[in-house]
A and B are shown apart, each in its own frame.
Chain A
Amino acid sequence: MCDNLGMGQNIFHRLDRVSASDLYKPDMLHTIYLGLFKHMMDWIEGFQKKHGRLQAFNDVWKALPPYPGFLVLKKAYREVTQWQGKEMTNLGCWTLGVLAVGLRQPGGAQAIPPKRALGCVTALVDFNMMAQYRSHTRDTIAYVEDYLDQFHRMKDIFLELRVTKRTQAKVDKQRKEIRRQRALIRERVAPSQPRRISDDDCDEENELRMDMIHDETHFNFIKMHLLSHFCDHIPQFGNIPMHSTEIGELAHETQIKDLWRQLNQNDAVRQIVHSYGRQHAIRMRLLNLESLQVRGADLSADVLQYLDKATSTVSQPVIRKRILKRCPEDMSNVVDCSRVLGVSLENIYRELIRYSRHNLPRVHPLPEDHAMLPSLPVELLTQLEIPVLAFQEADVYEIHRARSTGALHFRNLETRAVAMIGFGYRRLRKKWMVRGGVVYRQT
């Protein structure tokens, strides 16, 4: 295998239980986020420009609504000088939606090229999403493979946008040569057929141009090839995110840069290594003591006193609580509520009665008498915090802050807070928890 890869002899071959070909680990940060996503954005921009939809794409891009964990975009993709890895991670989450809206024709019709372009981007984004899973089954690995195959089948739509300067020069040279030869022939053709000849010439020129582009242009670059190793890697070594260099690069800030600022930079390397070593040892010691305390071990009084004072190194679980913030709006009953919200009284009465019948215990229903309903005390609240369990986690919650804007619009476009409501129907996560499937988990 190593011979096929052209690796030759290196120092790893002499080490026991080390396979040089297995040393490479998929790196999502540089392969996908800073690699293929960056290429993809160039292709998308070129494609939009070719179809005259770049302005629509940029408009939708700048009007994206917020979401927990994402910054609201104020500039178009090209207007930002440098995109960092963290931003490129988020970029994959909304690119498909923006592209779909940007390519939408005013009449709702869709031509074949946009369909293939959307299919290609969909496959790449889906591949990226599935690759982020922290545990896999055979089914999820099959999904990853399928998305990658789909991406490779459809990526030809962007081939034209990978034309290099050298290829473009060749294409121009070829076109000039064809036109020169054609001019010589045209001198002998009757002047009554110029238009037909011109159309045929155009088609022929385009065909030759595309042939040359297909011959000269390709997707053979290293990051495109590295995607093919993702699927093999999962059964052998576990999930992909744990091998990403993103973790190491983020640690660079806390492990090196923070300490560099704190120390006097005299023999900096030694100081940083010693300081970090000491801090790490103390953190580990505290964790051990806390663990012993939880198990009821016999610890001395001074240690217990210190542990009570010290900030716990173990993150506290988020309390599952919904926080509501009150609105300063002057509202005390249902009539005021109707006035403020712009919803008819009849509508509110009907919905309150329906809610009472379906959700409240029979011993404590809301009044159904239309004479009593108007005086029902009501408070208007503006904000609701919803703890949402993070994906594939048991005790990590993300906080979604839902705010109602009423008739006001977010960034003068669309409503700001839109809730996802479930009515008691939950199902197994098909892609993750498959009964009888083999689960590969991070160890």
Chain B
Amino acid sequence: MDGARRGRLQANLVARLKVREYRSDHTVRCVAGVQMLTPVNSRRLSDLHGLVTVHMREDMRGFTIVDIGTILGLAHLIPEEDRLLLVNSLIDLRTFNDVY
């Protein structure tokens, strides 16, 4: 289980790509290149405000390729200092119900 985020991981969307398999059946795969954000505070909610904080790396470490079907939606991140971002789980009722 991923702490308070209940299996939902935040990532920076670097690019969306279509990869064509040209050798066999020319199947097109829709994938997304994302840079995963690192959770801080052991993935727990803050005692102060009850929000999760994540950290974005400056380099491209954490870059990974995922299927676009795994992207659930947008997250609202409030920039803090030192590339830290607060995951605003109060932005809508769906997120509020999911992240706690």
Residues of chain A having any CB pair with chain B under 8 Å: 60, 63-65, 67-70, 92-94, 96-101, 104, 106, 110, 114-115, 118-119, 122, 125-126, 129, 132-133, 322, 324, 337, 340-344, 347-348, 351-352, 354-355, 359-360, 364, 366-367, 376-384, 386, 388-392, 400, 402-404, 406, 413-415, 417-427, 429-432
B30 touches A63 (CB 8 A): no
A94 touches B19 (CB 8 A): no
Q: Nearest 4 CB-CB pairs, A to B?
A: A425-B7, A391-B93, A100-B49, A391-B94
Contacts of A400 in B (CB 8 A): 73-74
A420 touches B72 (CB 8 A): yes
A-B contacts besides A354-B65, A355-B65, 4 pairs, CB < 8 Å: A94-B78, A343-B33, A403-B13, A422-B7
CA distance A189 to B60 in the complex (A): 70
CA distance A413 to B9 in the complex (A): 22
B65 touches A402 (CB 8 A): no
CA distance A100 to B21 in the complex (A): 48
Residue of A nearest to B33 (CB): A341
CA distance A431 to B71 in the complex (A): 23
Specify which of A100, A114, A132, A354 lies most central, judged by the most chain B CB atoms within 10 Å of its CB: A100
Quote the shortest CB–CB distance from A6 to chain B (angstroms).
Answer: 37
Quote the shortest CB–CB distance from A16 to chain B (angstroms).
Answer: 39
Partner of B96 from A67, A129, A427 at Cβ < 8 Å: A129
CA distance A114 to B46 in the complex (A): 14
Contacts of A367 in B (CB 8 A): 23
Partner of A388 from B11, B49, B94, B100 at Cβ < 8 Å: B94
Majority secondary structure, A binding face: mixed
Residue of A nearest to B50 (CB): A122
Residue of B nearest to A377 (CB): B20
B71 touches A419 (CB 8 A): yes
Contacts of B17 in A (CB 8 A): 337, 378-381
Q: Mark B59-93, 1 if CB is under 8 A from A, else 0.
A: 01001111111111111111111000110101111
CA distance A378 to B70 in the complex (A): 20
CA distance A382 to B20 in the complex (A): 17
B80 touches A104 (CB 8 A): yes
Partner of B65 from A100, A351, A364, A379 at Cβ < 8 Å: A351
Specify which of B16, B31, B72 lies most central, judged by the most chain A CB atoms within 10 Å of its CB: B16
Quote the shortest CB–CB distance from A127 to chain B (angstroms).
Answer: 12
A96 touches B92 (CB 8 A): no
Contacts of A366 in B (CB 8 A): 19, 21, 29
Quote the shortest CB–CB distance from A281 to chain B (angstroms).
Answer: 35
How many chain B residues sit at the interface, stated as a range, is 35 or more
Residues of chain B having any CB pair with chain A under 8 Å: 1-2, 6-25, 27, 29-34, 37, 46, 48-51, 56, 60, 63-81, 85-86, 88, 90-94, 96-98, 100
A97 touches B81 (CB 8 A): no
Query: Known: A391-B94, A391-B97, A418-B11. Is A386-B19 also a contact (CB below 8 A)?
Result: no
B63 touches A324 (CB 8 A): no
Partner of A129 from B7, B63, B65, B93 at Cβ < 8 Å: B93
A377 touches B22 (CB 8 A): yes
A381 touches B16 (CB 8 A): yes
B51 touches A415 (CB 8 A): no
B21 touches A419 (CB 8 A): no
Contacts of A98 in B (CB 8 A): 78
Partner of B13 from A380, A389, A402 at Cβ < 8 Å: A402
Quote the shortest CB–CB distance from B98 to chain A (angstroms).
Answer: 7
B49 touches A413 (CB 8 A): no
Q: List 17 A-B contacts (CB under 8 A).
A: A60-B79, A67-B76, A93-B92, A94-B91, A101-B86, A118-B48, A351-B63, A379-B17, A379-B20, A380-B16, A400-B74, A404-B15, A415-B12, A419-B34, A422-B72, A425-B1, A431-B100
Specify which of A69, A378, A422 lies most central, judged by the most chain B CB atoms within 10 Å of its CB: A422
Specify which of B20, B67, B79, B91 lies most central, judged by the most chain A CB atoms within 10 Å of its CB: B79
CA distance A97 to B87 in the complex (A): 8
Quote the shortest CB–CB distance from B50 to chain A (angstroms).
Answer: 5
CA distance A348 to B31 in the complex (A): 12
B75 touches A63 (CB 8 A): no
B29 touches A68 (CB 8 A): no
A96 touches B21 (CB 8 A): no
